[in-house]
Amino acid sequence: MSYNENYDKWLEFTELPAYLRDELVAMDEKTKEDAFYTNLEFGTAGMRGYIGAGTNRINIYVVRQATEGLAKLIESKGDEAKKRGVAIAYDSRHFSPEFAEDSARVLAAHGIKAYVFEALRPTPELSFAVRHLNAIAGIMITASHNPAPFNGYKVYGEDGGQMPPADADALTDYIRAIENPFTVTVADLDQAKAEGLIEIIGEAIDAEYLKEVKDVNINQDLINEFGKDMKIVYTPLHGTGEMLARRALAQAGFESVQVVESQANPDPNFSTVKSPNPESQAAFALAEELGRQVDADVLVATDPDADRLGVEIRQADGSYWNLSGNQIGALIAKYILEAHKQAGTLPANAALAKSIVSTELVTKIAESYGATMFNVLTGFKFIAEKIQEFEEKHNHTYMFGFEESFGYLIKPFVRDKDAIQAVLLVAEIAAYYRSRGLTLADGIDEIYKEYGYFAEKTISVTLSGVDGAAEIKKIMDKFRDNAPSQFNQTDIAITEDFQACTSTAADGTVTSLTTPPSNVLKYTLADDSWFAVRPSGTEPKIKFYIATVGDTLAEAEEKIANIEAEITAFTS
């Protein structure tokens, strides 16, 4: 069906809400094509897109269609699965409550119970709720750290992790089989509640989550002595972190916490920031202002659904240093392993997990403590799968998992990135360095001096629409078929094609990769630098990851600049 035919189908639907009809009528030809040329696709963590009318937008009908597919998947698992139900949470974005409610009504129409949070809640709490309630699945309405015009829909499996590939593929097939989203049946809300098919949840789950959070911190004596008065500034960036982070910090004993109050209230327009992305220093502007006022040691920010954490640390000159996701990961990994070693609680079979595009610095840290590092594909569900494997086989003890995109998980009572847990541990790490008369900046310098100066950079290139998708494919094909043999005057030692599941050495020797197929290419150079190329699974972007190591940070960063310039030249 052409985009014009799809458009006409929507325009002719007589029950279309006025706000969607008005948007349709106002569309120019280019907008119309982009909104209807394809369906919004499921990626590594569900679907995400612009809010609005169209098959390539997120709206009540696309959400209903996705939930209808989920309902059919659950029905295929039998009556017991239907009784176990689905936990549903949502963040502070436009239409998030409506999308959550419509998801519950679609499930209720199939006789599937839905547990819906009374108000916005973080993604990690949704993951926890799936496990706590023994639900068969979970739905999180969020667009993570994207700007205000976006929303999204993430699906979780019964382990509380993002739905694994086999079920995700089956779900996609069920969704695609629904030819007309306007025919999806939704139950009456009041009747579904009266029949017990929709149950509202809230504080009781909060309390259980916070009870588990008590075990995240490792050294309570350290917090009591050095963390109590440590000045921390926190901002939830108008999102769900406000629901739990402040309570969790207070519960742990961090009493000198200042919150950026102008960013504490939910705001779907994220009016104080250009983008509510804790990866960006721009999102810390108000936190830095408050930090200077109160002389804060550390600034922490969570994204709207509180699964990602950004950190800034005070330097000797009083300015704040915006840490990369890899630097935060290195600090956390080093502290967890060192604290357990000092306490005599580091297990012999300790294991960490990270994505294939995250820093090898943490691998070196893990190895220095006798711990094993597992590399998995991008998508936290693959880390969740490792945790499940460790628990079933009893072959390793999970200590920490992370992705360079600012996602961290310390304790596996959650099976997704958890910024609430990460806030607590970063606060403890700051207290640890204070106990030694040092700062977090000193801590990073110590790590570099011990393990080498690692530098990383991620470059995201947005290529939207039909032309963008074609350009992304063209770039991937060019790398796959005609990549140079050198970058930065250094030979490529290993080429890994995760789609073909092959690792090819410079001498032509080919070995098999053990990860599932994924459209990712990774090139490791002879000096242990590497770069990777992958299309985003949830956004119209192609990403380039560059990582280097040198005798100084300046040397490592110069290598990054050289490789970036050569990638730009190669793709132009």
Query: Using only C-alpha atoms, what is the Rg of the chain?
Result: 24
Work out the angle at residue 47's Cα, subtended by the Cα atoms of residues 45 and 51, and round it to the nearest 5 degrees.
140
Measure the CA–CA gap between 440 and 426, rounded to whole angstroms: 9
Give me the helix-helix angle, 18-26 and 3-11, nearest 10°: 140
Do 238 and 306 form a contact (C-beta atoms < 8 A)? Answer: no
Buried b (16+ CB within 10 A) or exposed e, 55-79: bbbbbbbbbbbbbbbbbbbbeeeee
DSSP string, 205-219: HHHHHHHHHTTT-S-
The DSSP 8-state label assigned to residue 46 in this structure reads B
Do 403 and 417 form a contact (C-beta atoms < 8 A)? Answer: yes
Measure the CA–CA gap between 564 and 546, rounded to whole angstroms: 8
- Three-class DSSP category at 80: helix
Pairing verdict, β 502-505 and 510-512: antiparallel
Do 53 and 37 form a contact (C-beta atoms < 8 A)? Answer: no
Do 163 and 174 form a contact (C-beta atoms < 8 A)? Answer: no
DSSP string, 156-171: E-TTSSBPPHHHHHHH
- Return the closest-CA partner of residue 57 out of 24, 14, 88: 24
Give me the helix-helix angle, 325-343 and 419-435, nearest 10°: 60
Range list of H helices, 344-439: 361-368, 380-393, 419-435
Measure the CA–CA gap between 491 and 517, rounded to whole angstroms: 26
Token reading at 515: 């990860």
Cα-Cα-Cα-Cα torsion 470, 474, 476, 479, nearest 10 degrees, comes to -170
The residue whose two tokens read 């916005």 is: 120
Measure the CA–CA gap between 133 and 127, rounded to whole angstroms: 10
- What residues have CB less than 8 Å from 68, skipping those under 6 apart? 106, 174, 175, 178, 181, 184
Given 92, 96, 103, 144, the catalytic residue: 144
The residue whose two tokens read 């963040």 is: 91
278 backbone dihedrals φ, ψ, rounded to 5°: -70, -5
- What residues have CB less than 8 Å from 50, skipping those under 6 apart? 57, 58, 149, 150
- Three-class DSSP category at 44: coil
144 noted as active-site residue: yes
Measure the CA–CA gap between 486 and 183, rounded to whole angstroms: 55
The sheet with strand 309-314 has its strands ordered as 257-259, 232-235, 298-302, 309-314, 320-322
Catalytic residues: 144
